Each structure stands twice: as C-alpha cells, then as structure tokens.
A = this chain, B = another copy of it.
Amino acid sequence: MPELRRDPVTGRWLIVATDRALRPADFARERVVTKGQGFCPFCPGHESRTPPEVLAYRPTGGPNQPGWTLRVVPDKFPALRVEGDLERHGEGIYDRMNGIGAHEVVIESPEHQLTMSNLPEKRVEDVFWAFRDRIQDLKKDHRLRYILVFKNHGEAAGATLEHPHSQLIALPIIPKRVVEEMEGSRRYYELRERCVYCDMLRQEADTGTRVVLETDHFLAICPYAARFPFEVWILPRRHRSHFEQADIPTIENLGWLMRAVLRKIDKVLEQPPFNFNLHTAPVQEPEMPHYHWHLELIPKLTRVAGFEWGSGFYINPTPPEEAAKHLREAGLL
C-alpha cells in the first residue's frame, strides 16, 4: 500500500510508493564522465580567463597565478551584480527589484578530472571553509539577506563546466523555500520548545532505518518525507542556525563525511549527477533556537516522473528506508 507522508518542517505531504519500489538498477544510467576536452577557464595557468579571485588558498604563488589549491572568483556571467543601489519598483500589481547581489564560483581543486568524491579529503574540507569565509565576507554588505550555497555536478544537474566547482549566490531577498523552513520550524518550536531538527536527529539515531552514516559531529539520513529517490540530508548534531557559526571540529568533519556519502552514492548509483544545497539561516538574522543548518543532497536520477515538475507535489518511487539501506551497506571506497 502506498503511503502519504508529511514533512515535519514545511508541512508538505507527498506519496511514497512502497509496493513497486524502484531499486538502484531501475534508474536509467546517466553516469557523469569527465571528458577533459577543450579549453577550461578554471584550470591552473588560465587564471586570467576568470574575473580576479576574491579568495584563494595557495601554498605558493601570487594572486591570480598558479599555485592555488582552491580559488573563488566572481561568476563571469553573474545572475546578479554587486554594483549600484537596490531599487524597488511596483508595476501595477507586480513587484520587482533590480538585480543587486553577488554570484561567485568556488573552484574546488586545480585538478580538472577529479570529482568531489575522489578529491583528497582536505580539498573537500576546504570547500566548506571557503563557503564559510565567503559568507562571512559577503554578509558585511547589509543589503544581502540570504546566501544560497550549492553545487551542480554533471550536465544533467545543471553544471555547464566540468571542472569541479560549486557556487554562492547572495540575494537581497529571502527565498520562499527558506521562509517556509524558518516559519515551519518556528511553529514547531512554539508548540514544543524544541528544535524540530534536533528532534529529528534523536529519532533518526534511535530508529536507525533511515541512517546512512554517523560520525561524532553528524548524522547523514534519507529523510522520512524524501521528495526524491536517494535524497540524503546531512545534519550536524550540534544546534546552530547558521552554517558560518559552526565550530572548527564540525567543519573539519564535514569534509570527510561529505566525501564518504558521495562515495556511497557513486557506488550505489554509478556516479550519478547530483545537486546539493546548504540550508542555513538568513545571514543578517541572529542565532535562532528553532532553526538548524544542514545540507540536502539530491542525486539526479532519470526515470523520475515529471509529475512534480510544476505541480509542487512529489511522488517518491523509492522509500527512504530502502535507499538508506543500500547506501548504508555500500562501502566507502
């Protein structure tokens, strides 16, 4: 019998198909293969082909020279721009603003052909340090209210360049999805005086059926109301609303854990395209007792029905308990 499940934060109901659950082999394969052909503006030696770097980790070399292990540069064709004043306009019943904001690219490694699952552990950890450093710098601009941090891996997941990279988009508004999470978790807190994500951590650790991997600092789970097959959430055990306020051991551990989860996904689903998004509180807001930063990872599997496209209603053909079992049992190598 199929089940309807409700996300405890947003209140979203969705259908989890249970009788004819799709297994890893049921998804059409679209393995991400690094071709390494053509000119790559992110490769060492091509530093002049990107806008000047805003951050770099480099054992050797000067700014915009080779020798770096990670580089952050403004996007060459940004979705938003820093220059100018924020102007708000009405157009009859509609509202608009000019596109003030920032759009940056984190070049995760000098090595073109590596992916986040086979980069050295410290390189993956550094990606998260770069997210933290850039958020702390960008939030000084008080016009910027939210910073979206995400990675598209593979063409099917929206990546236009194959060199390993992730992105930050700083916005003068708070996206609707974020508002919904803030409001949903606040409602839960008002009712119970507990953080819904802290409760989720406790219940998932106790139940165990949806756990993918545990460390001292994190729990990686397939969430109860997963919208997509093999969706994975990475939750820090320590309550903090803002990712950029996470303590040093937490961020150090995130590099290892992220790589480990991606290796499991690569193994079970054969190097699928994926997206991840950092879910964190709006940068200009103080620490919140009801919100808990985390990371949501979605493998982009084909044969997922287009049903939710536009309808906002999801049917997940793989119960999270089955997805977690496959991932839990897969090795780390």
The answer to the question of A94 belonging to the interface, with a C-beta cut-off of 8 Å to chain B, is: yes
- Do the beta carbons of A175 and B313 come within 8 Å of each other? yes
The answer to the question of A80 belonging to the interface, with a C-beta cut-off of 8 Å to chain B, is: yes
The answer to the question of A6 belonging to the interface, with a C-beta cut-off of 8 Å to chain B, is: yes
Residues in A154-169 with C-beta less than 8 Å from chain B: 156-160
When A2-B80, A96-B6 are in contact, do A306 and B172 touch as well, CB less than 8 Å? no
Write out the residue numbers on chain B whose beta carbons fall within 8 Å of the beta carbon of A15. 79-80, 99
User: A307 to nearest B CB, angstroms?
Assistant: 6
- Do the beta carbons of A306 and B312 come within 8 Å of each other? no
> Residue among A4, A10, A97, A156 with the most chain B CB within 10 A?
A4
When A3-B99, A13-B173 are in contact, do A309 and B77 touch as well, CB less than 8 Å? no
User: Which residue of B has the minimal Cβ distance to A223?
Assistant: B94
User: A306 to nearest B CB, angstroms?
Assistant: 2
Write out the residue numbers on chain B whose beta carbons fall within 8 Å of the beta carbon of A148. 311, 313
The answer to the question of A135 belonging to the interface, with a C-beta cut-off of 8 Å to chain B, is: no
When A94-B225, A156-B306, A157-B306 are in contact, do A1 and B81 touch as well, CB less than 8 Å? yes
The answer to the question of A300 belonging to the interface, with a C-beta cut-off of 8 Å to chain B, is: yes
User: A300 to nearest B CB, angstroms?
Assistant: 7
Stretch of A50-58, A196-204, A238-246, A286-294 with 4 or more beta carbons under 8 angstroms from chain B: A196-204
Write out the residue numbers on chain B whose beta carbons fall within 8 Å of the beta carbon of A35. none
Interface flags for A198-238 (1: CB within 8 Å of B; 0: not) read 01100100010000000000000000110000000000000
Size of the A side of the interface (Cβ < 8 Å), in residues, is: 69
Interface flags for A105-144 (1: CB within 8 Å of B; 0: not) read 0000000000000000000000000000000000000000
The answer to the question of A93 belonging to the interface, with a C-beta cut-off of 8 Å to chain B, is: yes
Write out the residue numbers on chain B whose beta carbons fall within 8 Å of the beta carbon of A298. 309-310
User: A214 to nearest B CB, angstroms?
Assistant: 18
Write out the residue numbers on chain B whose beta carbons fall within 8 Å of the beta carbon of A180. 312
- Do the beta carbons of B4 and A172 come within 8 Å of each other? yes
- Do the beta carbons of B6 and A203 come within 8 Å of each other? no
- In the bound assembly, the distance between CA atoms of A209 and B215 in angstroms comes to 55
The answer to the question of A42 belonging to the interface, with a C-beta cut-off of 8 Å to chain B, is: no
User: Which residue of B has the minimal Cβ distance to A80?
Assistant: B2
Binding site for B on A (CB under 8 A): 1-6, 8, 10-13, 15, 17, 20, 77-81, 84, 91-99, 148, 150, 152, 156-160, 171-173, 175-177, 179-180, 196, 199-200, 203, 207, 224-225, 273, 275-277, 296, 298, 300, 304-307, 309-313, 315
- A-B residue pairs, 9 tightest by C-beta: A158-B306, A177-B312, A2-B99, A158-B305, A157-B306, A6-B95, A4-B97, A175-B313, A12-B176
